[in-house]
Each structure stands twice: as structure tokens, then as C-alpha cells.
A and B are shown apart, each in its own frame.
Chain A
């Protein structure tokens, strides 16, 4: 296991044997949460971190009991004191985010909190207020501790909240000498994905044999390489298009990326979600066998 490096996202510099595994995908809906929940059953002595703070779903399977509840404050937002405003319009001209209307109302959703309006206002009529933009939790589950969060809807800074969730999951893992941090990542390749990935020991990229899945796999694999995170691939619903599955196997081989498992399409997956149980405890057959084998391959 490699030594983690300090990263600018603020994950502490530690030298130990704890392994951080991030499950990501590029394309959404390919099975990240299903896989994370199953690994949560299979891995011993671990902490779970749900880093899809925009649309967190892991709690629907792992049913956490919330132990600690914290507010997440991030960034600021402009507020106009209308009684001081002279109506000069300097703020409207200076704002690059179109967040101030011609009648000097702030659009809190467009405002990025840069503060230019408050600095430029000649009558000090604009002040910056702290923005409460979500909450985060430390919880207990049947499978071990879990750190998760809920970003307020229509909020920004999900990357910061992801970093916070990961920091606390890592801290718990260190304090309790746990062997793994299992990170359920968000879709995409942007800010929250990068925050989920930096400093991880392994990225499992789960994809599907569709043109979209293949295209997104390519991009997210580049992100992992960009940040020097070793990546391995899982092809979900591989039997829905075996030609494409072969192409994924070939292109990943050319890039030196292992395919860890091919998971067949199974209606057990959506049934396990409806029941709110990890697939590995609900299902049987090939898909369960493959996930167990996958874990054996990466656990050391």
C-alpha cells in the first residue's frame, strides 16, 4: 500500500496501512452505490464515506443511525441594505455573475460570494453574510461507521463538503485503526469528483457497455491518471452489449488498466434497492459471486 501524499484538499499527511478506495464512474447510474454498499458488507473493519453530497443514496441501503449532526457553512452571499442604497448601479456593472437586478435585488442562487459589490458600493449598502449550505453527519450502521452529508439544494461548494466528509471518515479510520475507507463518489469529472479522488489509494471505475459509458470511462480514467491514482475498472450489465464489453476490455488493456469484474444485468439489483438491502445480502447467482471475487482481488 502506498503512502498517501498531502493534497491541497486538506487530507492529512499520514503514513499507515489504511486503504482508501474511491468508487467513481464518470457517467451516472452505472452502479457506484450498489457496489459500495456490497463492499461495505464484504470489507472488514472499515468506514464508509458517501461523497455524492448532491444526491446521496448510500443511506437508503445502509440505514445509518445518526450519531452526530453538523451544519456546513460555506462561502458568503451578498445582502443589500435597501435603506442605505443610493441606486448608483456600480454593483450591477461590476458583478460578473449577473446576480444583481436593475432594481438592486440579489439573486442568491447566482451570487458566487466574491464580494466585489460590497467593496465597490460607495454607500456601504451591501454586506456579505455567511451562507448555510448543507449539513453533514457521523453515523453508525450495521456495517460500521459512516460519514455522509446533504448539500442544501441549489447550493455550491460541493467539493468542500466532499473534502469535509472525507477528512472525518479518514480521522475515524485513523482513531479506530480501521483498514479501509470506502468512498461512494459522485458522477462527472469536476470539482466533487476530484475532491473524492485526491489522495485515494485506488479508484474503482464502474461503467457499462454503452457508447456513453465508454466515453465517460475514458474521461474519468484520464482524471484518475492526472491525479496519479491507480484505477481499475468494473463493467456493469456487461451482457447488454458484449461487443462493447470486448471493446472496453481491449482499450483498458491498451492503457494498462485491469478489468476487475464483469457484472451481468440482473433484476435483483433494482429489487434490492426497493428492499433497501445491499445486493450482496439480497441476491445470489453470478453477480454476487463476481462482486465477492472482485473484493478478494483488491482487498490487500
Chain B
């Protein structure tokens, strides 16, 4: 089963829930898909066994073959190629803007003179290891890099369906989030009971409805703010999976990188129950 953790608003406790859930279950694979700001390793402290460079293919033009016909520029939907045709005796030139390239391969596929090949461009790294018996994988986007979705796809390629796969996703509602949560059997939305938490959660709910992923809600810092999330979930018939009260002890453990189930054992059962609840929700959803 694949369970993803998402939120809409940032800083509501996705990583906290993902990590503590992972520690409460057996046979777990943990994928940290928040490749812009991965944090789960700070809590799970995995021993890293392998590092792989993540790349996307970008075009390389062999100017000996190129006649500056402009087909590649015409094909490229991202304006990642510019062409300066030759004038009289001067040769032309082709410029590739690697940061704009999505790696679709169209330019090399359609070049009439087969002058374009593809070379890998590094966008980040993927690290794999173990934290106890949890298999751990995360991606780290390089600084200044904008292409997080391909890196997220590459992290998710490690998914092992034999295990309970827990995916920690980035905040928001756009492409990086979609890339992380799609294909999950169930999604846990983590929010906080404030108007910010509520508004951003309604956006996340729309995303999950669009992707047809069954989901439930964890209300974090449930004792601060108001009752708006409980109300919203009641009206929309969304299951509330857990309330985590605001406690200085939990906040302090978090600040030190200690998953709170290590100190508060009673929560292991609660996290375990979330999975059983999610199985029921999935059955209901399929009907």
C-alpha cells in the first residue's frame, strides 16, 4: 500500500506525521519527495548506502551537421532553443537554455539532419539507505534548479509495492505535489485549525478529488486556533484520522529532530489505527 502525506499549507506537520507513522509500522519504505527541502532524514537519521546523480536529458547540437533550419526551435514548447542563422560567410549558431528544457526529446526526434543527441544534465541527487528496518530514499534538488517534478518522478521510481510505502510530499497544490501524491492508495492531509490551515486544506482536497485519491485528515496543534477544520470535515464527510494537541514537549522533540513516538509510545497505536482506517476508507471509496 502507498500512503502519501500532503498538506496545502507548509509547516503543518507533514514530516512529523510521515516519520512517526513509519516508525509505528513494519516493513516500511519511506520516500521523501519534498526534494526542495527534504527533512525526514533529520528525524530518521538513515545510514546512506548509495548516492545516485539524478539527471534529465537535454539536447546537444552537433553544429557540423546542423543547417540552422529551425525545426528544433519550432518544436520546442519551452523556448529552450534559439537559432541564429548564418549570414553570407558567417556560420550560424544554436543556443540551448538547459534550465528551460523539460527533456521531452522532441528536438532530437524531429531534427531532419539527426544533428541533435541528448546528454544528461544533473538536477539533484538521490540517496538510499536504511533507518533501522525502514528503507529510506530521498531526493535533493540542486541549488538554483527549478525542475523538481522530474526528480520527484525519479525518487518515486524506487517504489517497492511489496512494502508499506510512505511518501512525504512538498507543500502546495501544483506540479510537485501532484507528482508526489499521484498513484497513492490513500493520502493523509495534515493541517492546523486556523483560517490559513483551512483555506489551504480546501485546495488540497480539490487536488485529491481531482486525482481520485481517498484521504483523511490529521489536525495538528489541534488545541490552538478554532474548530473550523472539524466543522469542515463533518460537513464534507471527511474522516478525521487523528488530533495532535499542541504540547511544548512535542514541539521541543521536533526541534531536536526526535520523532515523538519514541518518547510517547501511546501514539504508535494511534498511527497504526490510521492505516486500518485508511484501508476501510479505500474499500468505501472503491464502492
Binding site for B on A (CB under 8 A): 25-30, 33, 54-55, 57, 60, 75-76, 94, 96-97, 109-110, 112-116, 119-120, 151, 153-156, 158-159, 186-194, 208-212, 215-216, 219-220, 222-223, 226-227, 240-241, 244, 267, 270, 273-274, 276
Residues of B within 8 A of A29 (CB): 9-12, 171, 192
Q: Assuming the A-B contacts A154-B207, A156-B175, A212-B15, are A119 and B110 also in contact, with contact meaning beta carbons closer than 8 angstroms in the complex?
A: yes
Q: How far is the CA of A226 from the CA of B147 in the complex (A)?
A: 16
Residues of A within 8 A of B196 (CB): 33, 57, 60, 273
Q: Which of A151, A189, A222 has the most CB of B within 10 A?
A: A189
Q: How far is the CA of A267 from the CA of B210 in the complex (A)?
A: 35
Within B143-191, the residues touching A (CB, 8 Å) are: 143-149, 170-178, 182
Contact of B148 among A25, A60, A190 (CB under 8 A): A190
Contact of A96 among B104, B143, B221 (CB under 8 A): B104
Q: How far is the CB of B142 from chain A (nearest CB, A)?
A: 9
What are 24 inter-chain pairs, A to B, with CB distance below 8 A?
A30-B10, A33-B196, A54-B177, A55-B8, A55-B173, A114-B78, A116-B109, A153-B173, A153-B207, A154-B178, A154-B210, A156-B149, A158-B172, A158-B175, A159-B146, A189-B37, A190-B36, A211-B39, A212-B39, A227-B144, A240-B248, A240-B251, A240-B252, A274-B226
Q: Is B50 an interface residue (CB 8 A)?
A: no
Whether the Cβ atoms of A96 and B200 lie closer than 8 Å is no
Residues of A within 8 A of B199 (CB): 55, 57, 60
Whether the Cβ atoms of B171 and A188 lie closer than 8 Å is yes
Contact of A94 among B9, B109, B206 (CB under 8 A): B109
Q: Is B42 an interface residue (CB 8 A)?
A: yes
Contact of A109 among B39, B144, B203, B211 (CB under 8 A): B211
Residues of A within 8 A of B192 (CB): 29, 270
Whether the Cβ atoms of B42 and A215 lie closer than 8 Å is yes
Whether the Cβ atoms of B106 and A116 lie closer than 8 Å is yes
Whether the Cβ atoms of A189 and B143 lie closer than 8 Å is yes
Residues of A within 8 A of B75 (CB): 115-116, 119
Name the residue on B nearest A98 (C-beta).
B153
Binding site for A on B (CB under 8 A): 7-12, 15, 36-37, 39, 42-43, 75, 77-78, 102-106, 109-110, 141, 143-149, 170-178, 182, 192, 194-196, 199-200, 203, 206-207, 210-211, 221, 224-226, 248, 251-252, 254-257
Whether the Cβ atoms of B106 and A115 lie closer than 8 Å is yes
Name the residue on B nearest A273 (C-beta).
B194
Residues of B within 8 A of A209 (CB): 255
Q: Assuming the A-B contacts A120-B109, A153-B207, A156-B174, are A223 and B11 also in contact, with contact meaning beta carbons closer than 8 angstroms in the complex?
A: no
